[in-house]
Structure 1
Amino acid sequence: MVLIWTQFGVKNKNVNCKVRVMHRDDSSSSNSSSSGESSKSDQEVPCLAFKPAGKDFYKLLGLPVDSNEDDIKKAYRRMALKFHPDKNSDADAEDKFKEIAEAYEILTDPKKRGIYDQYGEEGLKNGNGVSTAGQGNAHRGAFHGDARGLAVVHDLLVSLEEVFSGCTKHIKISRSRLNPDGRSVRSEDKVLDVVVKKGWRAGTKITFPCEGDETPNNTPADVTFVLRDKKHTQYKRDGSNIVYTAKITLKEALCGCTVNVPTLDNRMMPLPSSDIIKPGSIRRLRGEGLPLPKSPVQRGDLVVEFQVLFPDRIPPQSREIIKHSLAKC
């Protein structure tokens, strides 16, 4: 016998499917057996639950498949706050956060959600379950978009001393929030505690999910702070190293000297040199720089760059002495 059935658009639920049982000796010209009973029969049997190929976005957000948009928004906010890398130090927190954001994007877009429910993650990649080799860019463009509001980005100026020790900055922001009627908005202020960890580099982003503006058609936007270095009076930053310019006289450069180098933690480190110091030459104080971002117990170097100050004029008598002294150099 042959079993024939067709099933479309079934979500992750157990359902009964209509199955037609046909015997191979059936023919189109004969509709009944000699006993008068039909040789074909329709039976209802339980079908296997449909499981989307790839990631289970409902499971990622801890939701049933029949969740509405409000349920999805609440679940995303809860999970995003739990796994945000700035608040969760687990090694896999960042990857989990990205998966949660992806799940939110898919399930809050009716078109994407419909495709996902029917064909799974592979359907989103291929486009309605049909292979689109050579047309991937077009389909990715068709599915591009965010149901969230536009992210708000702020520069956050930090001093090298703050990066050295780590700090928490309390930043007051103004944002729009929906009134209870769900249509009008109000303006309100909120203070965000921005934690800057030791050694973080300029360009590091700190994001607060859903803390920005809210409008009737969008969930609250994210607020992102981007670290920027304040200009320092003594140092320049080079990754986890800091560069200090030591100004010495020509006499010190030729005859040797000891330079006292200030450190970020307010110490003075003597740096003696008995050799000739050429303009632009450098010396390193190992481990006296900034903490390494991924291993704060380790530190970069304090790089001392020498600048030789030449005199504007030399008295004639001194000039002759110098000529004599340097005759063989």
Structure 2
Amino acid sequence: MGQDYYAVLELRRSATDADIKKAYRRLALKSHPLKCKEPGAPERFRQLAEAYDVLSDPMKKGIYDKFGEEGLKGGIPEEFGDDNPWTAGYVFHNNPNKVFREFFGGDNPFAEFFAEDGTELIVPFGGLRGRGAMKQDPPIVRDLYLSLEDLFYGCTKKIKISRRVMNEDDQTSTIRDKILTIDVRPGWKQGTRITFEKEGDQGPNIIPADITFIVQEKLHPRFKRTDDNLIFVATVPLGKALTGCAVPVKTLDGRLLNIPVNDIVDPFSLLFSPKYCKVVPGEGMPLLHDPRRKGDLLIYFDICFPKKLTPDQKTLLRSALLS
């Protein structure tokens, strides 16, 4: 179940653009880590920024409303993508302070806050940095959604980011686009991290943040991955389970395997514990350090029992099974 961005902003799904802005203004000021010292404040502040980043953008909001978080971040399903300009999954830049600054502009929204002694507390806009001290922004973490085919063959992904770049005067800055190239290696797994150092926003007295992408595997219609192996569930009629059969499996590289199953697949034990597994060596995912070698294909079985039997069929079964 994906995130409910409306719930994060305490809104109904019928909320207008003005409602979204009003909710973010109220909750972001309330949950800002400079004001709120509760342990969960930074994460709450980040969730608010991501929710506002999505719902304040008409295109992202439209995709989220129709396809939910999975469609937004994983990319629109193929059948909907032909005429839609959204070609890649959404990734939040994970910099809630950037959303906060862009929302409030150059004004200091904390001018109303006061220190414990009653004097006005002036918070430098953009956070409490040491005067003149160089400090690196926190890492920006994004999900990189890849299909099993991408991870089987390897591929190249080009991702466009927008970043603030300092101008030659070292005082002003400009938003510019940049393309980051990720060479996906065969055998990469979920959780693999790819870091681009210092590719975040530039600014005076700061070291740009690193940008890190974390591999997430998209759901596959035929296979489930476990380590370097692939799991395939074959639907087999009861008769074939008892008498043997060939199981057709279309591999990730497009080949059609006909796997012979000569052992008796016990349908009754499968009802309680699907222990029987047909192992096909070398038909899994490539090994990262030696892509010429592969893991195994593990075939499990979903036995289809007949819904009804004729008297003659019942007689034959009794004769075969009770003899």
Measured against the shorter chain, the TM-score band is 0.5 to 0.7
SS at match of 2:138: coil
Question: What's the offset of the Cα at 1:147?
Answer: 2.5
**Alpha-carbon displacement from aligned partner over 1:253-304 (angstroms, at most 9, x marks no partner):** 0111111222111111221122211333211111111111122222111111
Which amino acid in structure 1 is aligned with residue 304 of structure 2?
L
**Alpha-carbon displacement from aligned partner over 1:47-86 (angstroms, at most 9, x marks no partner):** xxxxxxxxxxxxxxxxxxxxxxxxxxxxxxxxxxxxxxxx
| Matched positions, count | 184
Alignment match, 1:210: 198
Using the alignment, how far apart are the partners of 1:235 and 1:174 within structure 2? Answer: 36
TM-score, normalized by length of structure 2?
A: 0.54
Question: Rg bigger for which structure?
Answer: 1
Alignment match, 1:319: 314
Q: Which stretch of structure 1 is more off in the superposition, 293-302 or 242-251?
A: 293-302
Distance 1:165 1:146, change over 3 A: farther
* Identity in percent: 40
Question: What's the offset of the Cα at 1:191?
Answer: 0.7
Distance 1:146 1:269, change over 3 A: farther
More helix by share: 2
Q: 1:228 aligns with which of 207, 211, 216?
A: 216
* Mapping 1:68-217, distance limit 5 Å: 147-217=135-205
SS at match of 2:315: helix
The answer to whether the Cα contact below 8 Å between 1:292 and 1:298 also exists between their aligned partners in 2 is yes
Unaligned regions of 5+ residues in structure 1, if any?
Answer: 1-144
Using the alignment, how far apart are the partners of 1:146 and 1:310 within structure 2? Answer: 69
The answer to whether the Cα contact below 8 Å between 2:166 and 2:203 also exists between their aligned partners in 1 is yes
The answer to whether the Cα contact below 8 Å between 1:234 and 1:244 also exists between their aligned partners in 2 is yes
Question: What's the offset of the Cα at 1:146?
Answer: 8.8
What's the C-alpha RMSD, in Å, of the aligned pairs?
1.8
Using the alignment, how far apart are the partners of 2:148 and 2:155 within structure 1? Answer: 11
* Mapping 1:249-260, distance limit 5 Å: 249-260=237-248
Alignment match, 1:132: none
SS at match of 2:136: coil
Using the alignment, how far apart are the partners of 2:184 and 2:289 within structure 1? Answer: 13
**Alpha-carbon displacement from aligned partner over 1:114-173 (angstroms, at most 9, x marks no partner):** xxxxxxxxxxxxxxxxxxxxxxxxxxxxxxx99311211111111111111111101111
Which amino acid in structure 2 is aligned with residue 198 of structure 1?
P
Using the alignment, how far apart are the partners of 2:317 and 2:239 within structure 1? Answer: 11
Alignment match, 2:277: 282
Using the alignment, how far apart are the partners of 1:236 and 1:165 within structure 2? Answer: 16
Alignment match, 1:107: none
Alignment match, 1:301: 296
Alignment match, 2:72: none
Using the alignment, how far apart are the partners of 1:163 and 1:197 within structure 2? Answer: 7
Matched, 1:268 2:261: no
SS at match of 2:198: coil
Distance 1:262 1:202, change over 3 A: same
4+ residue runs over 3 A deviation: none
